[in-house]
Amino acid sequence: MLYQLSYTRVWPILGGALSPINWRPDCAPAGPRRGGILPFLDFTPPMSSVALRFDLRDLELFVAVADAGSIARAAERSHTVASAVSKRVSDLEDNLGCPLLLRGAKGVELTAAGHALLARARVLLHQAGQLDDEMRRHASGTRGYVRMFANISAIVEFLPDALASFARQHPDIHVHLEEHVSSAIAAAVADNSADLGIVSELPAIDGLTTVPFRNDDLVVVLKPDHPLAKRSSLTFAELIDQPFVGLHAGSSLHRLLTRAATEVDRSLHWRVQVTSFDAACAMVASGLGVSIVPRAATSAYIRSLSLASVPLTDPWAHRQLFLCIRSGAPMHSAAKLLYDHLQSHAVQK
């Protein structure tokens, strides 16, 4: 006959013997039985090969006794009765299997094992204190790790000052910042790949909460001798036939300009595409075309290259940036601190 024997794991054989076996008569073998029931054998590994036989309070009291040289003085310093301290140390000796103290009328002295334990106990208690402090800072939000996604405009224009002031206030919180287009930022926040994000358009994804962050005005950058450089303002329609210097095809700004051209049944002449605003300004200064860029992100480059900057009057050129978080999902403490900081920073500016 066949019996069905099931087990989740066979523990290694040590010294010719299996680890403890749990007999489970409630699990009967499959099929007819002969000579009684074959019990279910559950080979369970031991809980731990190195079980701790003391706790941190035992070590604290042992160190206190060693430092004081007396159980009575250690009990007084520890705000514990002497009998309780003596019992703790005695139990510690029993659990470790060796004497730690030589007790006498004038106090106690450490044995060789006691000296060895004292050195290790000080290290363990110090590390336990550090661990407790670090976990408390994580719980309060003063230490932690925040994942933040933002578009290039926010990263260049507004986040340097905001993150610098946040770092001064919370030096133990690390902010991991990545550049993405707005659609990818919204998706990352929605699926918890990012704790919060900054987007330049309202996301078409359910389950997100957005709040206004900053305004992001676009301007036209031209060489000073360009025929349009003296204008007080320009429309996109007046530029559409110009050779353009723009950001890479995956950027939010590239998508915005391409969509604006498509809406009037036109296409843009991209002469050069680059990966940064400073590179775009440098290409304009070399006479390769005009560019549409965020005002605040490029003002320093425009001044240094002696370029002309003309406001763009199309409604979409006045962009609103939004802070973006998951709706109804509690934020961990560090992320909440950064979120609140960015909101207050937006109000101040």
Q: Is the torsion defined by CA of 237, 241, 247, 249 positive or negative? A: positive
Pick the most confident of 195-204, 243-252, 283-292, 296-305. 283-292
Check if the beta carbon of residue 197 is closer than 8 Å to that of residue 324. Answer: yes
Do 44 and 178 belong to one domain? Answer: no
Side chain identity at 216, as an amino acid letter?
D
- Mean pLDDT calculated for residue range 138-152: 80
pTM for this one?
A: 0.56
pLDDT of residue 140: 63
Cα-based angle 187, 193, 198 (whole degrees, multiple of 5): 60
Do 209 and 337 belong to one domain? Answer: yes
pLDDT of residue 163: 95
Residue 177: beta bridge partners? 148
Percentage of the chain modeled with pLDDT above 90:
51
Q: Is the torsion defined by CA of 260, 283, 296, 242 positive or negative? A: negative
Rounded Cα distance, 141 and 288, in Å: 49
Rounded Cα distance, 162 and 321, in Å: 15
Q: What residue numbers bound the domain in which 108 lies?
A: 56-138
Tally the domains of the chain: 3
Residue 117 maps to which CATH number?
Answer: 1.10.10.10
- Mean pLDDT calculated for residue range 73-99: 91
pLDDT of residue 150: 93
Query: Long-range contacts: 254-258, Cβ < 8 Å, 24+?
Result: 255/181, 256/200, 256/316, 256/319, 257/292
pLDDT of residue 38: 42
Q: What is the CA radius of gyration of the chain?
A: 35
pLDDT of residue 272: 94
Do 215 and 97 belong to one domain? Answer: no
Considering the chain, what is the average pLDDT of its residues? Answer: 82
Do 115 and 187 belong to one domain? Answer: no
State pLDDT tens for residues 8-54.
333 333 333 333 434 344 444 444 444 444 444 444 444 444 466 77
Do 150 and 132 belong to one domain? Answer: no
pLDDT of residue 347: 53
